[in-house]
A and B are shown apart, each in its own frame.
Chain A
Amino acid sequence: QTIRVAHVDPDEWTASKKGAAAHIFKNIVEGETDLTVELFPAGALGNEDELVAQAQDNVTQVVLVSGAMSKACPAASVLDIPYTFSSATVAWDVLDGEFGEALAEHCLAQTGLRTLAFGETGFRNFTNGTREIRTPADMEGLKFRVQPIPLYVEMVKGLGGEPTPIAWTELPNALSTGVVDGQENPVGVIYNNGLHKLQKFMTLDGHVYAADFILISDEFFQSLSPAEQAVVARAARVAGNMGRSIQQWGTAEGVNKVQAEGMQVYSPTAEEIAAFAEKAQPAVVEYLRGELGEDAVWIDRLQEAVASTNQ
């Protein structure tokens, strides 16, 4: 049997989190079972939404996606509530613990996709060309490009900035022509796309933590022998950790590099982060409660899980 593994990141394993995860998954599964693993990196089979659809149809068996998951399984969007995780290690504990397991089960029932493990795309941070941002008050009056996703619009509004939804491909233009003053993205994305050359200031506020979902078509998973299932599940957990590590490496390196190239980077204190959270969370939570309907219980379950992890 063949497992087709697809994602939209580059294939190269030293700099690409999903690329690295896919490679180690392939090595483990092929080494320990008779299964064949074929990798389709760099969006060869389609974008994330399409990959999710393909996995639901068992056309592509394993997909590594981030944002697309919450479209198929809306409860997963609670992870996007800003300033939920104070650090990546907290996120790992929550996702690898009871909460992550329960969310995975819920999404399995809803989509037919089994979450084998979580990787990470990283924390998103604000950059701008006008002034250093230490508190929400510093965001007043600044225009920020956001993804055309309502949750991000609500978040920036809550913080006092002016959200401007612009497509990713338009972003460099919009920054250099001054259509917007700032933007928000993970450090790796900022550095790899040269956005630090267009922006003077970055605040490592880590407003949204983006997880990667390593998903397998449950129809396919059930067709495997118990021994194969065990190897596949273990390989995916190793792959998720590999992806997290590569992501952490890239972020740490990126923070140093953007500074070396002239960007001013500010790391807010815990009190300052709390001030950001106080402004941003209520708007987003209210919006999400309206969107999620009965799935809104996942907001509370997440907050409980984070609280007990933080203790």
Chain B
Amino acid sequence: MALVFAIIFVNSLRRYTVGQSVSWGEELPIYLTIYGVMFGLALAYMQDRHIRFTVITDFLPDAARQKLFAAVDLASCVTGIALAYSGHAFTVRRGHLDASGLKSTGNWLAETTGIEGLVWIAKVGTWQYAIAIGGAMLAVAAFLKFIERISSFKAVPA
């Protein structure tokens, strides 16, 4: 987030002062944000921050609601796994293409540092993989939440 802010801020300042902006000034913050969103998805799940619809569940007795939520955690975990698979398949299919704004920078980095691996910066697949990683993290977060709820059942006898 800090990086996203910094790039956009500095790049727009450059545009108004020097009249020039860098070619990756739009693409890179977008991709970083997508990673941020997918990280945030798992974090928000752990902290119960997601927007959900609670009218019906509010009417349930506490114990039943906790059990329902534990089931929801498991369902979310499965969703996360499926999303991770979907993201993986997406990247495998399309990830080899070049990200137009990052192409020259990525290749330049690889050439100047001599680290061949840095060309990955220029590939869209690197950034598309955010969906797969986010799905996997969501699965882990939902599973941890599930464990947490289950153990709280035991700690507080009904």
Contact with A along B1-40 (1 / 0, CB 8 A): 0000000000000011001110100100000000000000
Closest Cβ of chain B: how far from A128's Cβ, in Å? 15
The answer to whether A148 and B23 touch across the interface, beta carbons within 8 angstroms, is yes
B65 at the interface (CB under 8 A from A): no
Could you tell me which residues of chain A, from 49 to 107, have a CB within 8 Å of some CB in chain B? 53, 57, 71
Contact with A along B79-100 (1 / 0, CB 8 A): 0000000000000011001001
Residues of chain B with a CB closer than 8 A to A149's CB: 100
Closest Cβ of chain B: how far from A71's Cβ, in Å? 7
Contact with B along A240-277 (1 / 0, CB 8 A): 00000000000000000000000000000000000000
Closest Cβ of chain B: how far from A141's Cβ, in Å? 14
Residues of chain B with a CB closer than 8 A to A71's CB: 97, 100
A43 at the interface (CB under 8 A from B): no
The answer to whether A179 and B104 touch across the interface, beta carbons within 8 angstroms, is no
The CA-CA distance from A53 to B124 in the complex, in Å, is 14
The answer to whether B26 and A164 touch across the interface, beta carbons within 8 angstroms, is no
Residues of chain B with a CB closer than 8 A to A179's CB: 15-16, 19
A165 at the interface (CB under 8 A from B): yes
Contact with B along A157-193 (1 / 0, CB 8 A): 0000000111100000000000110000000000000
The answer to whether B23 and A164 touch across the interface, beta carbons within 8 angstroms, is no
A134 at the interface (CB under 8 A from B): no
Residues of chain B with a CB closer than 8 A to A166's CB: 21
The answer to whether A164 and B104 touch across the interface, beta carbons within 8 angstroms, is no
Main secondary structure of the interface of B (DSSP, over half): loop
Contact with A along B99-136 (1 / 0, CB 8 A): 01100100000000000000000000000000000000
A143 at the interface (CB under 8 A from B): yes
The CA-CA distance from A164 to B20 in the complex, in Å, is 7
Residues of chain A with a CB closer than 8 A to B20's CB: 164
The answer to whether B19 and A164 touch across the interface, beta carbons within 8 angstroms, is yes
A31 at the interface (CB under 8 A from B): no
Residues of chain B with a CB closer than 8 A to A164's CB: 19-20
Could you tell me which residues of chain A, from 132 to 147, have a CB within 8 Å of some CB in chain B? 143
A194 at the interface (CB under 8 A from B): no
The answer to whether A148 and B15 touch across the interface, beta carbons within 8 angstroms, is no
The CA-CA distance from A186 to B100 in the complex, in Å, is 22
The CA-CA distance from A157 to B73 in the complex, in Å, is 58
Closest Cβ of chain A: how far from B84's Cβ, in Å? 21
The answer to whether B19 and A167 touch across the interface, beta carbons within 8 angstroms, is no
Residues of chain A with a CB closer than 8 A to B19's CB: 143, 164, 179-180
Residues of chain A with a CB closer than 8 A to B94's CB: 53
Closest Cβ of chain B: how far from A67's Cβ, in Å? 11
The answer to whether A165 and B23 touch across the interface, beta carbons within 8 angstroms, is yes
Closest Cβ of chain B: how far from A65's Cβ, in Å? 15
The CA-CA distance from A88 to B100 in the complex, in Å, is 29
Closest Cβ of chain B: how far from A298's Cβ, in Å? 19
The CA-CA distance from A166 to B21 in the complex, in Å, is 8
Residues of chain A with a CB closer than 8 A to B15's CB: 179
Smallest Cβ-Cβ distance to A143: which chain B residue: B19
Closest Cβ of chain B: how far from A133's Cβ, in Å? 21
- The 20 sampled A-B contact pairs (Cβ below 8 Å) are A53-B94, A57-B93, A71-B97, A71-B100, A143-B19, A148-B23, A148-B100, A148-B101, A149-B100, A150-B104, A164-B19, A164-B20, A165-B21, A165-B23, A166-B21, A167-B26, A179-B15, A179-B16, A179-B19, A180-B19
Task: Given contact pairs A148-B23, A166-B21, enumerate 12 new A-B contacts (beta carbons under 8 Å).
Answer: A57-B93, A71-B97, A143-B19, A148-B100, A149-B100, A164-B19, A164-B20, A165-B21, A179-B15, A179-B16, A179-B19, A180-B19
